[in-house]
Amino acid sequence: MLCNMGCRLYGAHRVAISVKDSVVVFHSPVCCDYATLPALSPSRQNDLRQCCTNMIESDAINGGERVLRASLERVMETFDYSVLFLISSCVPELIGDDCAQILDEALADSASPNARKPHYLLEAPGFKGSEWEGTLDAMSRLVSSMEPAPIRPSSINLVGFFESDYKVDGDLNLIARMLDKTTVNAVFPYDIYDRVMSLPAAQLNVVLRGFESIGELLKEKFGTPFLVADYPYGLNLSRAFCESIYQALGICDFTEIDRQESESLRKLANARRYIEQLHMMPAAIVGYPARVHSLSTLLSKELGMVVSVAVDRTAHKQEGLFSAIEGSAAAVMFGCDYEASISSRLNIPFFAFDYPTFRKISISENGYAGFSGYVNLVEDIVNTLMEKNFSWDGSKGV
């Protein structure tokens, strides 16, 4: 089993729910639906667009066609959406429900206007792959239905951003502020459906590390060049992120990049003594490819920390993770909430930065990406360490 990753269904859902005007129907027991909610509900309480056929034992015995048809009709009556995603789980796969045929027939028989809207079946039983495989497969399915479009000069797509990413709204706003000489054509898959389908209109695809296969697919189908980017954490990677995009587009004006970098350096100077205390502090990081590599670079190259363990969540095995981190003598741990228990066992500070993060809300534009985001990130890292250092048992007094 890969490191703290869910089954294929989680990945399919992560893509489908990221399309901002979608509705998601699980053909599954209720547990599959419920298990996807923790990463969304802390920050998206007014934007829950999913439901479930709630398969029970009798459906597993007699087939799930009845409950699936009824659920689809109820969804079409209840929700206002642009695209419908039906995600099938282990149970219908095992009992042989023909979800594609049931979906097509239910839409053909319905009088609802929603029945004429785009729809996708994502077959995602957990025994057929990991969460990461489900993510890439769902993104590929969307690409397969796209059509060529006239190119919009100096426009880019940002590929690999999701609704459930911690700080995603703030990060995207900060990235757009840095790239003031370009237009963001679409964010994939975290955008409205029409904009997602407009991906072929961009001049360049900016693909986060780990999503190279999606960049290749878009290039093969539409001829769109792409560059692979690390997440723009810190000053150096933010500048490299912007410059690589501008160079690919033939843009030579770095005025806004220079201004934002200078402003961030000015602000960081106010915390110089705190930042100096991070020098040579050992750290462990677990995360998805683009973020874990970028944060590792930031901590080591810009804050002078020692990254003793850096784990790519999509490639590392679960077994031995605790021992590897314990043996690294890490003094602080960065990851998602799945790793919080490890830091607790080791009694070291924990910093949540990656998906899934469900014990913190993220509703502001206070992101971590770009030059301004670096200030926010350093501030939160220092505060996390200070809180741990100055914590006490209130019953014993200060």
HEC string of 231-293 equals CCCHHHHHHHHHHHHHHHHCCCCCHHHHHHHHHHHHHHHHHHHHHHCCCCCEEEEEECHHHHH
DSSP 8-state class, residue 299: I
CB proximity list for 216: less than 8 A, separation 6 or greater: 226
Architecture per CATH, domain 8-140, reads as 3-Layer(aba) Sandwich (3.40)
Q: What separation in angstroms does the CA of 234 have from each of 33, 211, 291, 302? A: 36, 21, 12, 7
Question: Which region, left, alpha or beta, applies to residue 81 given φ > 0 means left and ψ of -120 to 50 means alpha?
Answer: beta
Provide the sign of the torsion angle of the four alpha carbons 93, 143, 17, 53, taken in this order: negative
The fold for domain 267-389 equals Rossmann fold (3.40.50)
Range(s) of the chain covered by CATH 3.40.50.1980: 8-140, 152-252, 267-389
Within 10 angstroms of residue 269's Cβ, the number of other Cβ atoms is 9
Q: How far apart are CA 360 and CA 67, in angstroms?
A: 35
Q: Which amino acid is at 3?
A: C
Q: How far apart are CA 299 and CA 308, in angstroms?
A: 11
Q: Quick one: how far is CA 237 from the chain centroid?
A: 19
Q: How far apart are CA 128 and CA 228, in angstroms?
A: 28
User: What is the reported pLDDT for 314?
Assistant: 86
pLDDT in tens, 74-130: 999 999 999 999 999 999 999 999 999 999 999 999 999 999 999 999 999 999 999
Q: What is the Cα gyration radius of the chain?
A: 22
Packing angle of the helix pair 370-389, 168-178 (nearest 10 deg): 140
Instruction: Give the CA dihedral 218, 7, 129, 54, nearest 10 degrees.
Output: -100
Question: Does 152-252 carry CATH code 3.40.50.300?
Answer: no
The model scores a pTM over 0.85? yes
CB proximity list for 323: less than 8 A, separation 6 or greater: none
Q: Which run of H or E residues covers position 60?
A: helix 57-62
Looking from the CA of 121 toward its CB, the CA atoms found within 13 Å total 18
Residue reference for tokens 């220079």: 258
DSSP 8-state class, residue 218: H
Q: How far apart are CA 398 and CA 394, in angstroms?
A: 7
| Segments of the chain scoring below 70 in pLDDT | 1-5, 317-318, 390-398
